[in-house]
Structure 1
């Protein structure tokens, strides 16, 4: 199940977008409205591919390996789900803040990038059932003794992509959040002492420390409840059958152990069970 599609994602993304101009995602090419037409699942099966938006810079969720191939937990789960639907997965890479906008406009079918289900997002998107459950942690420099809980973020500075659930959580506890493009940029700011902390996934922190064992970083606190990770779909009639089919695929992949296998491969632990 862990197969790599040997294509660079920017090429795939532009190829996909070219196709989208005519038929993909049900966009109204003539009017440019992006309004969905017909059944999205049927369109995906007609074109033989499902288009996922992703960053490609967030290891171990979505990243390029040493051979330059796009891989990671989210990439392999997306490929497995597409296979269950009888199509291939293709990926269009970009910065986080623009990915959900691409789902909104119909450029992408959905987003494979560890998207947390939040109350605010549920007002706008029709999410699939969760395929992963994730712990958010507060990361600080190793010599920082001022932050030991989320409440200690009051008056502190953090950095994250501004549309992320991490930024929202930090700001809800009184932090001032600086916008960055990706996790590596966040760590650079933290290492340089330009911010007090950053919030991210526990598995992302573990992966970073495995690759940088001498990094002067530590986990200062953890959110009390895990976040639910799911696929966001446009909230419209055209996506209903796709959501049902994706839920069936997630159930099948959980039942046969595929989700657990992929999770253990990339995280060293199973985060796919509630």
Structure 2
């Protein structure tokens, strides 16, 4: 078969390029080879991830990552991230796995593979423990609920406001809502569990508690699509530690509540 010299040169160049391109990555093999697990974790969302007084990582997600690495016999390296960069970090190979309060949503599932849930986040209507007037949603009729503007709590409660007969009062940030609760300006507040914990750290003898659940989301680890071996091994680890109670113990240590049993099915 005759091949024109120009075509032959192009074929050689194409083959060279193909050989130069890296093969499809096997993230689990890379973890085992380097003896290091790179974990994308946001250190700015206590109590999931934060820095302690010595500027060392701590929090429920941090402890999960450390336990995982220890069981696998590898070192853990935290890749500090923010909410928007969690998934890009695994999809650009800067991290091997996201362990960072990553709630499971349909949109995210289009660009990352989720493990089984290992944790959860919920938002609730909270009020002082001493307030015994609210036992169900009907008890909120005529009451005002403080929220942070444009949060999921705002969206959910605003959608229900007319039917429930409630007044949604919006503040600009968590710190302002927390101050309103502690000062008595707001008796009923729509916040996530982490913010309730922040309130109770300062509430002294007048603590708050969750009265009604607005919504809760399972939290899972995220990995780059096309990594079945890594996904399977992570799911195996989660199943073992869900059954043993370790995952719930780590969550309760930092959040003060249990992970719903139905979310931690081995």
Q: TM-score range by the shorter chain?
A: 0.5 to 0.7
Separation in 2 of the partners of 1:198 and 1:159?
Answer: 12
Counterpart of 1:45?
Answer: 32
1:130-149 to 2 correspondences below 5 Å: 130-137=117-124
**Among 232, 235, 247, the residue aligned to 2:235:** 247
**Among 196, 205, 226, the residue aligned to 2:195:** 205
Q: Aligned in 2, Cα 1:38/1:103: closer, same or farther, shift over 3 Å?
A: closer
Query: Does residue 99 of structure 2 align to residue 112 of structure 1?
Result: yes
Contact 1:65–1:71 under 8 Å retained in 2: yes
Counterpart of 1:228?
Answer: 218
Q: CA RMSD in A?
A: 4.2
State the Cα distance separating 1:208 from its structure 2 match.
0.4
TM-score (norm 1): 0.64
State the Cα distance separating 1:102 from its structure 2 match.
1.9
State the Cα distance separating 1:36 from its structure 2 match.
7.9
Q: Which has the higher strand share?
A: 2
How many residue pairs end up in the alignment?
222
TM-score (norm 2): 0.66
Q: Aligned in 2, Cα 1:263/1:36: closer, same or farther, shift over 3 Å?
A: farther
Q: Which has the higher helix share?
A: 2
Counterpart of 1:273?
Answer: 261
Query: Which runs of 5 or more structure 2 residues have no equivalent in the other structure?
Result: 1-19, 128-135, 160-169, 181-185
1:1-274 to 2 correspondences below 5 Å: 37-137=24-124, 158-159=148-149, 167=151, 170-171=154-155, 186-190=173-177, 200-202=191-193, 204-213=194-203, 222-224=213-215, 226-234=216-224, 236-237=225-226, 239-271=227-259, 273-274=261-262
Larger Rg: 2
User: What do the CA deviations read for 1:33-57 (whole angstroms, capped 9, x no partner)?
Assistant: xx98231100011111111112212
Query: Which runs of 5 or more structure 1 residues have no equivalent in the other structure?
Result: 1-29, 141-147, 161-166, 181-185
Q: Aligned in 2, Cα 1:137/1:131: closer, same or farther, shift over 3 Å?
A: same
State the Cα distance separating 1:73 from its structure 2 match.
0.7
